[in-house]
């Protein structure tokens, strides 16, 4: 197989080796130059990127007619909110309570939505969070953190740089909080750190222990507000908006095991009923065959175009054999030969495979999910079984029934994963993203009353 790009043409060993090294060196050099430029902006008292709550970016033209960059100014009404947060924390309010009071007063958070305690608390050593941002006392700090990608999760995580690498510059014109109020907040933070509870938490170093993943981690949604669920104690789950922000009325907590058992029952016994599977197989096969017919028509059109190109090339070859040599003729010959290569490449693609579903697809699926459910009890194979079961679930919505203590669970299955689990390779080469178009009513979310 060949790889041909617009800028480089055909890719060969030279591109992979030499040019790959040169490109990597260019990117590294570009990163160093960018950081050097940002450092110069910070040392001049300008923004090094990003913006904090309480400030706005100043846009305009300088004396030289060029756009002004890196300028910031205080937003008066947001500055008042910042001073309120500092004062309430110094007076003894917890970040969670401060966030609830701000939300109750209808004050939008930094992202225009609700306030959360983490936006206020942040991380003291890393200088994050409202009550740790030294820009509020007119002290601009740059290069405190660096960001790397976690190889396990692929997410970007922050790491603290040595203090000698920090770039610090005083910007008194951006001060919002007085030194007295800042010192009062720092004293309260130190008092909290000295409590036995915090000392015990730090001694346990819980952040170094990997949290165990559960069946519904990240899959639960509140039917009342659409928010996610969070752990309440060891064995219970509840709407995080209701518990943390007090912006949702669904305050009831539910035992994790109860939710997981109900979700497994829905997944195993109700999501793939035989009648619904038969309807899906019919609709899917119809859609797949229509797609295959379109591909066959395109294939025949490509074959016809190739015959036309070969006929034209034969005429040009005869002209050249008779002694005709012109620049236009040679250019036309090259263009036709390139077109022939491209058409032949398209014809080399394998024909789409036929879609054949097992006649007892629903029974196969049910037995596979039952086996996976039993595997959760075996610690030796629990992790892979858990991953497979989680792949079958798109979302689980928890509805709190008004006026009663009842709860209705709504499970949305990942259709392509369900089919693939029941019959590996059963979808053939059909794009799984197209399944929603032919799934049919039999695969609508299934509910279960607790």
- Per-residue pLDDT, 272: 67
Eight-state DSSP code of residue 68: P
For residue 258, which of 283, 278, 229 has the smallest C-alpha distance? 229
Detail the DSSP E strand segments found in 135-186. Answer: 139-142, 145-149, 156-160, 167-170
Eight-state DSSP code of residue 243: I
- Per-residue pLDDT, 169: 87
> Both tokens of residue 355?
């879609």
Of the candidate CATH numbers 3.90.1750, 3.30.70, 3.40.720, 2.60.40, the domain formed by 75-208 belongs to 3.90.1750
Q: Are 381 and 362 in contact (CB under 8 A)?
A: no
Q: What are the backbone angles phi and psi of residue 393, rounded to the nearest 5°?
A: -110, 125
For residue 170, which of 273, 56, 44, 305 has the smallest C-alpha distance? 44
Q: Are 278 and 441 in contact (CB under 8 A)?
A: no
CA neighbours closer than 13 Å in the CB half-sphere of residue 375: 17
- Per-residue pLDDT, 58: 83
CA neighbours closer than 13 Å in the CB half-sphere of residue 116: 11
Write out residues in the chain with pLDDT < 70, as ranges.
1, 7-8, 13-17, 206-212, 271-281, 283-285, 287-289, 291, 324-325, 327, 349-362, 402-405, 414-450
- Per-residue pLDDT, 207: 61
First and final CA of the chain: distance in angstroms?
56
Helix locations, 61-116, DSSP H: 76-90, 95-104
Single pTM value for the model: 0.61
Burial 108-138 (b: 16+ CB within 10 A, else e): ebbeeebbbbebbbbeeeebbbbbbbebbbb
- Per the listing, tokens 């390139």 go with 338
- Per-residue pLDDT, 435: 43
Angle (CA) 359 365 370, round 5°: 140
List, edge to edge, every strand of the sheet that includes 236-239: 229-232, 236-239, 254-255
How, if at all, do strands 156-160 and 55-57 pair?
unpaired
Q: Are 116 and 240 in contact (CB under 8 A)?
A: no
- Per-residue pLDDT, 97: 92
Determine the Cα–Cα distance for residues 279 and 288; give it in Å rounded to an integer. Answer: 14
- Per-residue pLDDT, 99: 93
- Per-residue pLDDT, 55: 92
Residue count of the chain, please give it: 450
Domain span(s) for CATH 3.90.1750 in the chain: 75-208
Eight-state DSSP code of residue 423: S
């Amino acid at each position: 197989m060949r790889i041909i790009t617009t800028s480089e043409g055909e890719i060969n060993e030279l591109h992979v080796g030499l040019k790959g090294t040169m490109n990597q060196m260019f990117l590294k050099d570009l990163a160093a130059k960018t950081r050097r430029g940002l450092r110069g902006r910070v040392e001049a008292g300008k923004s090094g990127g990003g913006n904090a709550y309480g400030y706005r970016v100043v846009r305009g033209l300088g004396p030289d007619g060029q756009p002004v960059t890196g300028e910031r100014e205080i937003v008066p009404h947001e500055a008042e909110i910042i001073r309120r947060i500092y004062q309430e924390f110094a007076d003894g309010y917890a970040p969670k309570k401060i966030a609830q009071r701000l939300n109750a007063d209808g004050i939008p958070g930094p992202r225009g939505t609700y306030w959360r305690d983490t936006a206020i608390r942040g991380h003291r050593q890393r200088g994050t969070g409202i009550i740790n941002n030294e820009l509020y006392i007119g002290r601009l700090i740059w290069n405190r953190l660096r960001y790397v990608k976690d190889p396990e999760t692929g997410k970007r995580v922050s790491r603290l740089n040595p203090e000698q690498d920090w770039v610090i510059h005083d910007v008194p014109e951006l001060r919002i909080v007085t030194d007295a109020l800042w010192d009062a907040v720092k004293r309260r933070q130190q008092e909290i750190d000295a409590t036995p509870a915090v000392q015990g938490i730090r001694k346990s170093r819980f952040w170094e222990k990997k949290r165990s993943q559960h069946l519904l981690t990240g899959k639960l949604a509140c039917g009342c507000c659409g928010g996610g669920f969070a752990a309440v104690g060891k064995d219970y789950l509840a709407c995080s908006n209701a518990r943390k922000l007090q912006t949702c009325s669904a305050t009831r907590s539910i035992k994790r095991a109860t939710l997981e058992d109900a979700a497994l029952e829905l997944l195993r016994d109700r999501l793939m009923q035989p009648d619904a599977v038969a309807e899906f197989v019919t609709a899917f096969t119809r859609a797949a065959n229509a797609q295959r017919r379109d591909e066959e028509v395109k294939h025949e059109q490509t074959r016809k175009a190739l015959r036309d190109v070969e006929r034209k090339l034969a005429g040009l070859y005869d002209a050249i054999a008779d002694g005709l040599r012109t620049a236009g003729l040679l250019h036309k010959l090259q263009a036709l030969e390139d077109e022939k290569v491209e058409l032949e490449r398209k014809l080399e693609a394998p024909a789409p495979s036929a879609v054949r579903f097992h006649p007892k697809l629903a029974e196969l699926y049910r037995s596979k999910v039952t086996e996976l459910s039993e595997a959760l009890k075996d610690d030796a194979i629990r992790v892979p079984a858990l991953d497979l079961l989680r792949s079958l679930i798109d979302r689980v919505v928890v509805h709190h029934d008004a006026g009663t203590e009842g709860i209705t669970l709504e499970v949305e299955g990942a259709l392509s994963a369900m089919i693939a689990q029941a019959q590996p390779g059963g979808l053939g080469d059909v794009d799984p993203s197209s399944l929603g178009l032919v799934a049919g009513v039999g695969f609508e979310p299934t509910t279960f009353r607790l």
